[in-house]
Amino acid sequence: MTATVAIVGAGLGGLTLARVLAVNGIGTTIYEAEPSAEARTQGGQLDIHPHNGQRALEDAGLTEAFRAIIHHGAQAARALDQHGAVLLEKADDGALSRPEVLRGDLRRILISSLPAGTIQWGKKLTGVAALGAGRHELSFADGTSVVSDLLGGADGAWSKVRPLLSDAKPAYVGTAFIETYLHDADVRHTAAAEVVGNGAMFALSPGKGIVAHREAGGVLHAYIQMNRSPEWIAGIDFSDAAAAKARIATEFAGWAPALTALITESDTALAPRLIHALPDAHRWPRLPGVTLIGDAAHLMAPSGEGANLAMFDGAELAKAIAAQPDNIEAALAAYEEPMFTRGATEAEGARFILDLCVGDRAPYGLVDFFTGKLGQG
Ligand SMILES: Cc1cc2nc3c(=O)[nH]c(=O)nc-3n(C[C@H](O)[C@H](O)[C@H](O)COP(=O)(O)OP(=O)(O)OC[C@H]3O[C@@H](n4cnc5c(N)ncnc54)[C@H](O)[C@@H]3O)c2cc1C
């Protein structure tokens, strides 16, 4: 294959796409807006699922490297009510069915697996023009441009490649996640460390909840989930860290102090994230020479699947191209149809999970789901 393959975005999806292509002897260039691999801390712990994320890592030849970064013991989960009463407790069974890893570690093993020079950092895509016959001209913020024979849009929620294919735009789902971090928790934040336990902790009520994970190195990472308007969130001055913590904590008045400590004792300024999603069954007609993977294709509310799906998309697209390198259109069609189907299914699942967390059934809906009493749909 002599075509020029351009990938926009060095997130987990774009990196997996480039790696699996490289494993199959196909060279690519990734254009990434961030100035370097270290430019932004890649927060968060992800559980990597056997049927998508782990399969992608196997296709990437990185199973051993992945095993080496697993945070053992982190698969435990508990659900609490707002007073801290335990409604459900699941120990880590040690089976490693859905191992937890830090996003930054996963990104690091993918980056270091790529041939030198694959990633061009500091290349922020600002526009794409179709040149015909599947070729595209990519323009970057630094004034440079390149031409691709095959373009993979892996540039996430606010993809600049997506408008070539679709008019769909992400819409606010009505829930904000406010992110907090507590460091050295077993020494400095003992009550919060105890209430979170060894893995994931869900303290939920209709309209709001506190969800936290224990990450490697004694770190507690929490998402304070609230059904609030964008205007309500915008009305809080998050640059005044102390005032923002106090303001958010008042919304949880009467909750167990060990739970609200996940807000008030945050070692980082509270970081609000308005959760957006594309329409559930987002798809597009086949357009020569370009496709999307990951959040660019099927942005959905966090449900524990997004990063797994992005990696799986990347691996599936790479394998489709490797299977018929001289018929790119057939390869893209073979990749897209199953991706549309799994994206639609998972998007529905993501709405269901978000509703269990902050909808009217909280906190018991999630407990019933965990114990198998409640199925999806
Ligand atoms: C609060 C929260 C919690 C989550 N928790 C989980 C979880 O526990 N498990 C899970 O599986 N998923 C989780 N997700 C979802 C997951 O983060 C995403 O689905 C996943 O990161 C998508 O990967 P991606 O490669 O498609 O996009 P991204 O990870 O967004 O990567 C896109 C890349 O493209 C680059 N880029 C963007 N625009 C441009 C441009 N114009 N030019 C060049 N480069 C560009 C970006 O800098 C970035 O590096 C969570 C999401 C959120 C918001």
Domains of the chain: 5-71+101-168+279-357 (3.50.50.60), 171-277 (3.30.9.30)
What is the phi/psi pair of residue 37, to 5°?
-65, -25
Tokens of 366: 């999630």
Distance between start and end Cα atoms, the chain = 44
304 lines ligand 1 (CB under 6 A): yes
Model confidence at 134: pLDDT above 70:
yes
Atom 15, ligand 1: residue with shortest CA distance: 306
- Greater model confidence, 202 or 39: 202
Model confidence at 377: pLDDT above 60:
no
Contact at 8 Å (CB) between 366 and 303?
A: no
pLDDT at 96: 66
Q: Which atom of ligand 1 has the smallest separation from the CA of 295?
A: 26
Burial class (CB in 10 A: 0-12, 13-18, 19+), 242: exposed
Q: Which atom of ligand 1 has the smallest separation from the CA of 314?
A: 25
Burial class (CB in 10 A: 0-12, 13-18, 19+), 115: exposed
pLDDT at 283: 98
Model confidence at 376: pLDDT above 70:
no
Strand pairing of 29-31 and 86-90? unpaired
Peptide bond between residue 363 and the one before it cis (omega within 30 degrees of 0): yes
Model confidence at 166: pLDDT above 90:
yes
Q: pLDDT tens-digit profile of 293-315?
A: 999 999 999 999 999 999 999 99
311 lines ligand 1 (CB under 6 A): no
pLDDT at 93: 73
185 lines ligand 1 (CB under 6 A): no
Nearest to 180 by CA among 110, 265, 118: 265
Contacts of 184 (CB under 8 A, 6+ apart): 218
pLDDT at 1: 61
Contacts 24+ apart (CB under 8 A), 335-340: 335/291, 336/283, 336/286, 336/291, 339/293, 339/297, 339/298, 339/313, 340/281, 340/282, 340/283
Whole-prediction pTM value? 0.95
Stretch (H or E) spanning 73: none
Atom 31, ligand 1: residue with shortest CA distance: 11
Ligand 1 centroid distance, CA of 157 (Å): 7
pLDDT at 352: 95
Model confidence at 332: pLDDT above 60:
yes
Model confidence at 185: pLDDT above 90:
yes
Contacts of 1 (CB under 8 A, 6+ apart): 26, 321, 325, 326
Share of the chain above pLDDT 90, in %: 89
Q: pLDDT tens-digit profile of 64-113?
A: 999 999 988 777 899 999 999 999 998 877 776 788 899 999 999 999 99
User: What average pLDDT does the chain have?
Assistant: 95
Q: Taken in order 236, 242, 243, 246, is the CA torsion positive or negative?
A: positive
Q: pLDDT tens-digit profile of 3-53?
A: 799 999 999 999 999 999 999 999 999 999 999 998 877 678 899 999 999
295 lines ligand 1 (CB under 6 A): yes
Model confidence at 150: pLDDT above 60:
yes
- Rg (Cα) of the chain, in Å, rounded? 21
User: Which of 140-154, 261-275, 355-369 bottoms out in mean pLDDT, i.e. has the lowest?
Assistant: 355-369
Q: Is 106 helix (H, G, I), strand (E, B) or coil?
A: helix
pLDDT at 288: 97
Average pLDDT over residues 155-174: 98
- Maximum Cα interatomic distance, the chain, rounded to a whole number of Å: 64
Q: Taken in order 154, 156, 157, 161, is the CA torsion positive or negative?
A: negative
pLDDT at 349: 96
155, 173, 179, 226: residue to mutate for ligand 1 pocket, most atoms within 8 A of CB = 155
Average pLDDT over residues 207-220: 94
User: Which of 34-43, 55-64, 154-163 bottoms out in mean pLDDT, i.e. has the lowest?
Assistant: 34-43
